[in-house]
Structure 1
Amino acid sequence: MTDDNQQATNLLRPHAEQLHAAELEALARTDTGARPPNWRLSPSAVVTYLVGGTAGDGTVITPKYIGPRRIMEVAVATLATDRALLLLGVPGTAKTWVSEHLSAAISGTSTLLVQGTAGTPEEAIRYGWNYARLIAEGPSREALVASPIMTAMAEGKIARLEELTRIPSDVQDALITVLSEKTLPVPELGIEVQAAKGFSLIATANDRDRGVNELSSALRRRFNTVVLPLPATADDEVRIVTQRVESLGRALELPEVPSAADEIRRVVTVFRELRAGVTEDGRNKVKQPSGTLSTAEAISVITHGIAMSAHFGDGVLRPSDVAAGIQGAVVKDPGSDTVIWTEYLEGIVRERKDWSDFYRAARRGLN
């Protein structure tokens, strides 16, 4: 095991380029496609890294995104042009996950990141100052502190901006010059940083945040928007949850438990039905709770259930291990959501064959 691999195994959450270094190396070594300037891989190899496949030397490439290949092709093609990429979708549709892996495959690093919040300042997008040096020496290159976006421009890499619509509108507007002119002026020094070939920006935004800080039409025009949908089928969602739970379990060094397939499918079924407002067979309508019930939350519920089973149970993932986690995901508003959850248990879950253990465990959680 190399020093880099050993270091990655000791981290709680390695970056994509650390966790999948062997796959990226195999793809780079055997990639015969044309590579845009400063790209580590060709666009086709980047898509293979995202959706899975086989490298030229036979190395198996695990899928990072389970969904339509065409969506990833559109996203990668956007980054090969001069337009920025906006990944849009409801919570839990893997926007951040895709952003990280795209950056890792294209630039070799996913760490040039700005996390958007209501308090994100303009300096996080443009640049700041080392105030001790600024006071002592005045404005200088040495006193300037580059933002991740400025660094990406100078080095011809991909920058990431999470939760764009949570950033105040006046701060968002700092991106317009960066994305249109591909330059970032520093008037205090009378210089500008021009973007090197290979630079682009991947931003993510939440469908449910519309109206928080909506993008101006001028800024939206600078992006090509790709909408990431919820998993199309229950089988797709089960596959996503299973893969991510296994990965998280290894990272957290949770004790192994026997196959969790039955409980994963049960959690996915509950989430999909409450999310859609109708049972999987289409026969019964159900009320929708206030929460999003995303795939990411399903992953969290199962991972928590495995921890419960391993540390406080008999080592087998059972309905009682996941019932409390599901209730916590569903009941965000104790008033209305508790009623919806109770009606779902009594009207749907109670009548299902082989769901009696889950029904009793869930009912205990309401008492």
Structure 2
Amino acid sequence: MTPTPNVLRQHAEHAYAHELTALAQHDTHPRPPKWNLSPRAVVTYLMGGTLGDGTVITPKYVGDQRLMEVAVATLATDRALLLIGVPGTAKSWVSEHLAAAISGDSTLLVQGTAGTSEEAIRYGWNYARLLADGPSEAALVESPVMHAMREGKIARLEELTRVPSDVQDTLITVLSEKTLPVPELRTEVQATRGFNMIATANNRDKGVNELSSALKRRFNTVVLPTPATLDEEVSIVTQRVQQLGRALGLPDVPPAHEQVRRVITVFRELRGGATLDGKTTLKSPSGTLSTAEAISVMNQSLTLAAHFGDGTPTAHDLAASLTGAVIKDPAQDPVIWREYLETAMKKRAGWGDFYSACREVG
């Protein structure tokens, strides 16, 4: 697929095309059939590094490299990959970059919802041609999964556990037999070498459907944890905020490390139910307060500063963005937030301006 200029967000294979090209040129390791890169090079693409010619590969995932090695190794076998984690642990991000690095195409995607039908995973029909000529190859409408099977690429299925259980089981034959029957044409589509699937799932949201034991056996599962340390999470948020700022055309400003650290500290304390020093117990609000939401808070703060300030986010910009992220339930969350301000934030040295701004917004 040709990249479209001026789109808000490029697909990974286009946004990082120069890195993928450089990796392919320097990749001397064995590549599985139809893979654009070797498993070792795919992990380098995900974790970052510097090539022999000085090309810098930016990290796409900040965390345990072994998890990425297991994920990539899985896709080189006949087992599909299931990425599980709470919301905001980069499941979709990792899935997209894996498909981009392996197949050069991250767009073969099925978005799982409660309304996802079998046709979205198997195939559909062009009903005008179906009525005119009856069932035929010309009337068949390929799903992303069927297309990936024909072309030997990676298919992606987002939010697998939101898909109804009977539709989930449509995948069993695809993943075990590597075939997709088309009984209307008395034929089948057999997967070519290079085909595999990456699914994502979380068990924190409502509307989750458990996977059948038969389907679970077709996947190797990799659990993506929340960032282990404050510094790790600060690094992730800082990197993504800078990338989003460039994509949105925001003015270049010095990295807001202190503001990011404040937001991540608040998120980690409210998520964990205690201050980072363990001295004060806290109540947790109804939201997940994920790393992805921290990125959104910082992005909004930078946008406020860019358009209504001098470009550098202030405590008031941060407070305005943060309060909306914490307070999701208007009944219980405001009480929890005010309690946090008085028992944790007010006592923290150097946070007086931030505390006052949050009180004012609240």
TM-score, scaled to structure 1: 0.96
Matched, 1:328 2:311: no
Paired residue for 2:177?
A: 181
Match of 1:278 in 2: 274
Shift of 1:211: 6.8
Residue-by-residue CA offset, 1:30-87 (whole Å, 9 max, x unaligned): 1000000010000000000000012343311100000000000000000000000000
Moved more, 79-88 or 205-214: 205-214
- For 2:188 and 2:136, locate their aligned partners in 1 and report how far apart those are by CA, in whole Å: 13
- Structure 2 SS opposite 1:159: strand
Please list, as runs of the form range in 1=range in 2, the aligned pairs for 1:1-367 lying within 5 A after superposition. 7-8=4-5, 10-209=6-205, 212-366=208-362
CA shift at 1:210, angstroms?
7.7
**Residues 284-311 of structure 1: per-residue CA shift (max 9 Å, x gap):** 1111111100000000000000010111
Distance in 1, Cα, partners of 2:232 & 2:255: 18
Q: Is the 8 A contact 2:275 2:281 kept in 1?
A: yes
CA contact (8 A) 1:165 1:210 kept: no
Paired AA for residue 87 in structure 2: P
| Percent of aligned pairs with the same amino acid | 71
Does the 8 Å CA contact 1:86/1:205 hold for their aligned counterparts? yes
In the alignment, residue 332 of structure 1 is paired with which amino acid? Answer: K
Corresponding pairs, count: 361
Opposite residue 282 of structure 2, the aligned amino acid is V
Helix, strand or coil for the counterpart of 2:333?
Answer: helix
Instruction: Report the CA distance shift for 1:210/1:228 in structure 2 as closer, same or farther (over 3 A).
Output: farther
State the alpha-carbon separation in 2 of the partners of residues 258 and 69 from structure 1: 29
- The gaps in structure 1 that reach 5 residues or longer are none
Distance 2:252 2:316 in 1: 18
The one-letter amino acid of 1:15's match is: H
Deviation at residue 336 of structure 1 after TM alignment: 1.1
Q: How many angstroms does 1:324 deviate by?
A: 1.8
Letter in 2 for 1:259: P
- The code of the aligned residue for 2:39 comes to P
Runs of 4+ in structure 1 over 6 Å off: none
Q: 1:209 to 1:215 in 2, by over 3 A?
A: farther
SS at match of 2:306: helix
2 CA distance for matches of 1:151 and 1:166?
22
Code of the aligned partner of 1:146 = E
For 1:48 and 1:338, locate their aligned partners in 2 and report how far apart those are by CA, in whole Å. Answer: 44
Q: Distance in 1 between matches of 2:222 and 2:205?
A: 16
Q: Which amino acid aligns with 1:308?
A: L
Q: Please give the secondary structure, in 1, of the residue aligned with 2:346.
A: helix
AA aligned to 2:194 is G
Measured in 2, the distance between the counterparts of 1:46 and 1:142 equals: 37
Offset of residue 207 of structure 1: 2.6
Per-residue deviation, 1:209: 4.0
- Checking the alignment, whether the CA contact within 8 Å between 2:83 and 2:224 is kept in structure 1 is yes
**Per the alignment, do residues 217 and 209 of structure 1 end up closer, same or farther by CA in structure 2, a change over 3 Å counting?**
farther
Separation (CA, whole Å) in 2 of partners of 1:52 and 1:152:
27
Conservation of the 8 A alpha-carbon contact between 2:62 and 2:236: yes
The whole-number CA distance in structure 1 between the counterparts of 2:114 and 2:44 is 36
**RMSD, aligned α-carbons:** 1.2
Q: Give the Cα separation in 2 of the matches to 1:151 and 1:77.
A: 23
Task: Report the Cα offset of residue 262 of structure 1.
Answer: 0.9
